[in-house]
Amino acid sequence: LPYAYRTFELFFKRQLNIENIDEITKLLYETSNKKVSFEKFSQDFQSYANNQGQQDYLNAENEADQNNVFGVPTFIVRSEPFFGNDRIFMGKKEIRFT
């Protein structure tokens, strides 16, 4: 969750270019448990992004289409969509009470 919260914060402050893999790699590392060096982490993530990550992205995109996701942030909790920053608290409540 630290990565998701930080990404959300920076993206909506327009301080993160989510299309820049170097920025994403740095943010992932900053919010990780840092068990390896940044160089190793970066190499591994670049390898993932250029290989299995491409298929994972397509799968996530297809899943989003099937769930009628049309914007960010959207959270699907037990098949119920929660759209927008102002509804995050509703999704959190749903998770806690089930």
In a domain, 14, yes or no: yes
Q: Is 76 helix (H, G, I), strand (E, B) or coil?
A: strand
Instruction: Give the tens place of pLDDT for each residue, 45-79.
Output: 999 999 999 999 999 999 999 988 888 778 888 88
By residue count, the chain amounts to: 98
16 within a domain of the structure (yes/no) = yes
Q: Is 81 helix (H, G, I), strand (E, B) or coil?
A: strand
Q: Which residue has the tokens 């959190």?
A: 92
Sorted by sequence, the CB contacts under 8 Å of residue 3 that are 6+ apart come out as: 27, 28, 31, 32
Closest CA to 8 of 85, 94, 96: 85
Structural domain span for residue 33:
2-50
Say if 92 falls within a structural domain: no
Tell me the per-residue pLDDT of 5-55, one tens digit each, with 9 for 90 and over.
899 899 989 999 999 999 999 999 999 999 999 999 999 999 999 999 999
Residue 15, domain member (yes or no): yes
Q: Which of 45, 37, 43 is nearest to 3 (CA)?
A: 45
Number of domains in the chain: 1
Token pair, residue 18, equals: 């989510």
Task: Please state whether the predicted TM-score (pTM) of the whole model is above 0.75.
Answer: no
Q: Is residue 59 a part of any domain in this protein?
A: no
